[in-house]
Chains A and B, each alone.
Chain A
Amino acid sequence: MGKITNEELLQKLTAQFGENVTNVSEPYGLLTAETTRGQIIDLLNWLYNEPSLQFTYLTDITAIHYPEFEGKEMAVVYHVHSLVNNIRIRIKVFLAEGDINIPTATTIWNGANWMERETYDFFGVNFTGHPDLRRILNVDDMTVFPMRKEFPLEDPNRVDKKDYFFGR
């Protein structure tokens, strides 16, 4: 099967999902699109099953915390790879603080299991329908989600590394 370009991929994606695919960009040649929580599993399923695309390889699931984005505090990012066409796509779903739930992708890939557990462990993203959503790298009795931005690595009262000392 021949290679397909980002434009062709985007055309097919918008033809299928229309309004539900937004904020399309192409940083460093990797097609990036945003979708909604309601559509994500349909979209991943479609990417997986569409015979001309075959995005059958899940590269990565992770999250990014943007505390300053009102109503879009948590981004869950999927990297999916079509080995047949050798093209990758990045899908993002933004979630609001207080309602960080998203359906699990373990229904499509077994490999999503630990990736989602890791994302839950560090960001508190609740993957609904996940068969075994427990902490994975941190201790079980931890109560916080440490990769969130409200947990600074160093003592926040420390002043010797403040930016204004360096003219920033």
Chain B
Amino acid sequence: MQNFPAYTDTDLQSELSTLNLGPTHPATHGVFQNVLQLDGERIVSGVSTIGYIHRAFEKIAEHRPFYQITPLTDRLNYCSAPINNMGWHMSVEKLLDIQTPKRVDYMRVIIMELSRIADHIVCNGVLGVDTGAFTGFLYMMEHREAIYEIFEEVCGSRLTTNIGRIGGFERNFNDIAFAKIRQFLVNFPKTLNEFESLFNRNRIFVDRTKGVAPVTAEQALGYSWSGPILRATGVDYDVRAMNPYCSYEDFDFEVPVGTSGDVYDRFLVRNEEMKQSMRIIEQALNKIEKEDPNIFHADVPEFYLPPKEEVYNNMEALIYHFKIVMGEVKTPVAEVYHSVEGANGELGFYIINDGGRSPYRLHFRRPSFINYQAYAPMSRGMLLSDAIINMSSLNIIAGELDA
């Protein structure tokens, strides 16, 4: 266990000043409060205060049927809500022992990788903004819009998507959705290349990020970091590769790692991950073509709501509809932990079920919450302006932090 060193400087000014950074500071992109002790512009120590948007999701989840917990997961990491939705669905499917068809898995992979790209677009774009370059952010934002249009085509909403159902999707992807996904794969790489050529060797950007907030692999693992920021330190831990879920084992992709774990490495790792995500989406599109185009959910009538027209005209569908809505379906008494690779790291769902209509207890392992605790210790000795871009590159999402 290797901790970040305390900041000791014999030339300290006689008086330190206290700075309340946040909770609504425009530079922190979210509700984060850090009470910092400053010596001039250098941070001597800091304390993070969190919980400003705590909404007690774990408590609420104890009173909701499984399918109604999906909208709660939307509001964890709202920059990549579909990953949370599908992580939740897959956890419930693991609990209920539901096998999803390959086509459903591939559809999910497409949506999850698109949301990973959307999340990284925001993070890396904002990192650029914080170092003084607005252009890259605007270039990239256009393509996040394209991703949101795909989500809209698939499920009807954009930010908090509530996408998919237990067992699959609520409806099949239409041709427009597929066309938009293919169009995205054509358009986005050009912009990403442009973005990289704007930043990767940009003198100002490199000077501002290289060597800022370096983290060793030991420190990162000691703080239970996961996701791109852990991989930037050189640890190749990616849930998709290590414990493949949702048929990720069928795909050929690489897990990019950095070396020094500084802000610059995190930026590069995220850029590379977007490229890998596009590789995965392309493979998934090709694989989907070989599957039966009419399958978009598993055959689990006890958990998958039947279409409305069947409910009105078909006895069995009506019974299942009633049983699902009224919570009459038996679930196993069991506990299950399932994790997916969220955009920020290992997003885990720990369900303890007592056989009722809602979980007895549900715990979210939220990567932002766990990653953020290193922020105050690692800020010691850092310049205030470096601490700001360090926070941007950690990509802490307030919704996931406070749950």
Q: How distant is the Cα of A59 from the Cα of B239 in the complex, in angstroms?
A: 12
**A86–B242 touching, CB < 8 Å:** yes
Q: Does A72 contact B (CB under 8 A)?
A: no
Q: Are A111 and B59 in contact (CB under 8 A)?
A: no
Stretch at the interface among B25-33, B101-109, B329-337: B329-337
B335 touches A27 (CB 8 A): yes
Within 8 A of B (CB), among A33-77: 56-60, 62, 64-65, 77
Bound CA–CA A64/B58 (angstroms): 12
CA distance A58 to B224 in the complex (A): 6
Q: Are B51 and A136 in contact (CB under 8 A)?
A: yes
Residue picked from A30, A56, A111, A146, most chain B C-beta under 10 Å: A111
Q: Are B365 and A28 in contact (CB under 8 A)?
A: no
Given contacts A28-B94, A56-B221, A111-B370, contact A136 B59 (CB under 8 A): no
Known: A110-B1, A146-B56. A137 touches B51 (CB 8 A): yes
A83 within 8 A of B: yes
Specify which of B327, B361, B373 is in contact with A111 (CB 8 Å cutoff): B373
Interface residues of A in 106-132 (CB under 8 A from B): 108-115, 118, 122
A159 within 8 A of partner (CB): no
Q: Given the complex, which residues of B lie within 8 Å of A56, measured CB to CB?
A: 221
The verdict on B348 contacting chain A, using a C-beta distance below 8 Å, is yes
In the complex, chain B residues whose CB is within 8 Å of the CB of A166: 326-328
Q: How far is the CA of A34 from the CA of B363 in the complex (A)?
A: 19
Interface size on A, residues (CB 8 A): 39
Query: Which chain B residue shows the least CB distance to A92?
Result: B335
CB distance from B29 to the nearest CB of A (A): 20
B315 to chain A, nearest CB (A): 19
Would A153 and B221 count as touching, CB distance under 8 A? no
Note all chain B residues with C-beta closer than 8 A to A150.
none
Taking a contact as CB atoms closer than 8 A, the residue among A109, A136, A147 that contacts B58 in the complex is A147
Q: What residues of chain B lie closer than 8 Å to A135, measured between beta carbons?
A: 51
Interface presence of A138 (CB below 8 A): yes
- Selected from A65, A83, A153, A154, the residue in CB contact (under 8 A) with B237 is A83
**Cβ of B114 under 8 Å from chain A:** no
Complex CA–CA separation, A156 to B339 (angstroms): 34
B residues in contact with A65, CB < 8 Å = 361
**A79 close to chain B: CB less than 8 A:** yes
Contact A59 B51 (CB under 8 A): no
B1-28 CB mask vs A (1 if < 8 Å, else 0) is 1010000000000000000000000000
- B residues near A138, Cβ cutoff 8 Å: 51, 54
Mark out the residues of chain B between 53 and 72 whose CB falls within 8 Å of any chain A CB in the assembled complex.
Answer: 54, 56, 58-60, 62-63
Contact with A along B342-367 (1 / 0, CB 8 A): 00001010101000000011010100
Q: Name, among B94, B327, B370, the residue most crowded by chain A CB atoms within 10 Å (CB to CB).
A: B370
B59 touches A146 (CB 8 A): yes
- Chain B 298-338 interface residues, beta-carbon cutoff 8 Å to A: 326-328, 334-337
Min CB gap B216→A, angstroms: 12
B267 CB to closest chain A CB, in angstroms?
24
- Considering the chains assembled together, what is the distance between the CA atoms of A35 and B355 in angstroms? 25
Residue contact B334 to A109, C-beta cutoff 8 Å: no
Say yes or no: A60-B1 contact (C-beta < 8 A), given A28-B336, A137-B403.
no
Contact: A59 with B59, CB < 8 Å? no
Q: Which residues of A contact B63 (CB under 8 A)?
A: 153-154
Q: Is residue B243 within 8 Å, beta carbon to beta carbon, of the partner chain?
A: yes
Q: How far is the CA of A138 from the CA of B222 in the complex (A)?
A: 25
| Bound complex: CA A136 to CA B377 (Å) | 16
- Residues on the A chain within 8 Å of B360, using CB: 64
Give bound CA distance, A62 to B366, whole Å.
12
- Chain B residues in 8 Å Cβ range of A77: 350
Give the distance to chain B from A46, nearest Cβ to Cβ, in Å. 15
Q: Which of A63-106 contact B (CB under 8 A)?
A: 64-65, 77, 79, 83, 86, 88, 90
B229 within 8 A of A: no
- Pick from B328, B335, B346, B402 the residue with the most CB of A within 10 Å: B335
The 14 sampled A-B contact pairs (Cβ below 8 Å) are A59-B346, A60-B348, A60-B363, A79-B350, A86-B242, A109-B222, A110-B1, A110-B223, A111-B223, A137-B403, A147-B58, A147-B361, A153-B62, A166-B326
Closest 8 CB pairs of A and B: A111-B224, A137-B51, A114-B373, A137-B54, A111-B223, A62-B363, A60-B365, A110-B222
Additional 12 contacts, C-beta under 8 A, given A90-B337, A166-B328: A30-B337, A59-B224, A79-B337, A83-B242, A86-B243, A109-B222, A110-B377, A111-B370, A136-B50, A136-B51, A138-B51, A138-B54
Query: A: which residues have CB within 8 A of B?
Result: 27-28, 30, 32, 56-60, 62, 64-65, 77, 79, 83, 86, 88, 90, 108-115, 118, 122, 135-139, 146-147, 153-154, 166, 168
